[in-house]
Amino acid sequence: MANNNGNNRRNSGYTPNDNFNWEEFDMVSSGREPVPRRRRQNASSHPARQSQAQDASYNTPSRRRGSGGSRKRKKKQLTEKQLRTRKRVRLVFFVTLFIFIIVTSGITMGMYAAVSREIKDMNIQNLALNYSSFIYYEDESGNPQELEQLQGEDNRIWIDSSQIPQIMKDAMVAIEDERFYKHHGVDIKRTVGATGKYILAKMGIGNASYGGSTITQQVIKNITNEKENKPSRKIKEMMRAVALEKQLSKDEILTMYLNIVFFANNCNGVEAASNVYFNKSAMDLTLEEAASIAGITQFPSQFDPFVHPDKNIEKRNLVLGKMRELGYISESEYTQAAASDLVVSNAHKHTGGRITSYFVDQVVNDVVNDLVEQKGYSSDFATQQVYNGGLKIYATLDPDIQRIMEDVFTDTSNFPRTGKGAQSAMVVMDPYTGKVKGLIGGLGEKTDIRGWNRATQAKRQPGSSIKPLSVYAPAVDTGKITEVTVFKDEKITIGDDKWSPKNAYDGFLGDMTVKEAVARSANIPAVKVLDTVGVSTSFGYMQNKFHISTLVDGDKNYSSLALGGLTQGVSVEEMAAAYATFVNSGKYIKPYTYSQVLDSSGQVLLSNSANSTQAISAASAYIMADLLYGVVNNGQYGTGRGAALNSGISTYGKTGTTDDDCDKWFVGFTPYYVGACWYGFDTPASISAAGVSGNPTVTAWKLVMDKIHSSLNPKELTKPSNVVEATVCEFSGMLATSTCNSTRGYFVEGTQPKSFCDSTHASKATPSPSPTPSVPPSVIPTAAATATPSTGGTTGGDVHGTTGGNDTPNHQPPSGSGGGNDLPIVSEPIGGGSDTTPDDEPSGGGDDDITDIHAGSVEE
Sequence-separated (6 or more) residues with CB below 8 Å from residue 544: none
pLDDT at res. 684: 93
Give the list of residues 6+ apart from residue 134 with CB closer than 8 angstroms, or none.
Answer: 146, 147, 148, 149, 150, 391, 392, 393
How many Cβ atoms are within 10 Å of 221's Cβ, its own excluded? Answer: 17
Residues recorded for the chain? 860
Q: How far is CA 771 from the centre of its chain?
A: 52
Q: Which of 176, 237, 271, 490 is catalytic?
A: 176
Number of neighbours of residue 162 by Cβ within 10 angstroms: 8
Strand, coil or helix: what is 219?
A: helix
Cα–Cα distance for residue pair 161/614, rounded to 1 Å = 56
* Catalytic one of 274, 292, 357, 464: 464
- At 742, which helix (H) or strand (E)? strand 742-748
pLDDT at 202: 62
pLDDT in tens, 652-679: 999 999 878 999 999 999 999 999 999 9
SS3 call for 850: coil
Helix (H) or strand (E) holding 832: none
User: Is there a contact between 10 and 21 (Cβ–Cβ < 8 Å)?
Assistant: no
The total of other beta-carbon atoms located within 10 Å of residue 507's CB is 16
Amino acid at 47: P
Residue type, 731: F
| 415 three-state secondary structure | coil
Contact 657, 695 (CB under 8 A): yes
With beta carbons less than 8 A apart as the criterion, state whether 626 and 612 touch. no
pLDDT at 350: 43
Per-residue pLDDT tens over the stretch 613-640? 999 999 999 999 999 999 999 989 999 9
Which residues does the chain have with pLDDT short of 70?
1-76, 105-130, 151-155, 194-195, 197-204, 206-212, 225-230, 232, 346-354, 760-860
Characterize the bridge pairing of strands 155-156 and 612-614. Answer: unpaired
- Residue 176 annotated to the active site: yes
Nearest to 117 by CA among 235, 26, 244, 2: 244
Cβ proximity of 260 and 127 under 8 Å: yes
Mutual angle of helices 358-375 and 379-388, in 10-degree steps = 120
Could you please report the per-residue DSSP string of 233-299?
A: HHHHHHHHHHHHHHHS-HHHHHHHHHHH-B-STTEESHHHHHHHHHSS-GGG--HHHHHHHHTTTTS
- For β-strands 155-156 and 267-268, DSSP reports them as parallel
Nearest CA among 450, 454, 850 for reference residue 681: 454
H/E segment holding residue 394: strand 392-395
Q: What is the b/e burial string over 653-664, where b = at least 16 CB atoms within 10 angstroms of the residue's CB?
A: bbbbbbbbbbbb
Rounded Cα gap, residues 716 and 820, in angstroms: 38
If one counts every other C-beta atom within 10 angstroms of the C-beta of residue 716, the result is 9
Between CA 115 and CA 122 the distance in angstroms is: 10
DSSP assignment of 53-119 equals HHHHHTTSHHHHHSGGG--PPPPPPPPHHHHHHHHHHHHHHHHHHHHHHHHHHHHHHHHHHHHHHHH
pLDDT reported for residue 572: 98
Question: Mapping DSSP to helix (H, G, I), strand (E, B) and coil, where does residue 652 land?
Answer: strand
* Count of beta carbons in the 10 Å neighbourhood of residue 275: 21
Give the number of other CB atoms < 10 A from CB of residue 37: 8
511-531 pLDDT per residue, tens = 999 999 999 999 999 999 999
Residue 117, φ and ψ in degrees, nearest 5: -65, -40
If DSSP codes are grouped into helix, strand and coil, which group holds residue 353? Answer: coil
Distances 367 to 227, 373, 698 between C-alpha atoms, Å: 23, 10, 32
Residues 6+ apart with CB under 8 A from 474: 480, 533, 537, 538, 541
Rounded distance between C-alpha atoms, residue 573 and residue 425, angstroms: 10
Comparing C-alpha atoms, which of 451, 412, 405, 460 is closest to residue 428?
A: 405
With beta carbons less than 8 A apart as the criterion, state whether 458 and 665 touch: no
**Are 497 and 691 within 8 A, CB to CB?**
no
- How far apart CA 553 and CA 555 sit, in angstroms, is 5
Give the other-Cβ count within 10 Å of 60's Cβ. 11
Q: What single-letter amino acid sits at 462?
A: P
- Mean model confidence pLDDT for the chain: 80
| DSSP class of 297 | T
Residue 667 contacts residue 675 (beta carbons within 8 Å):
yes
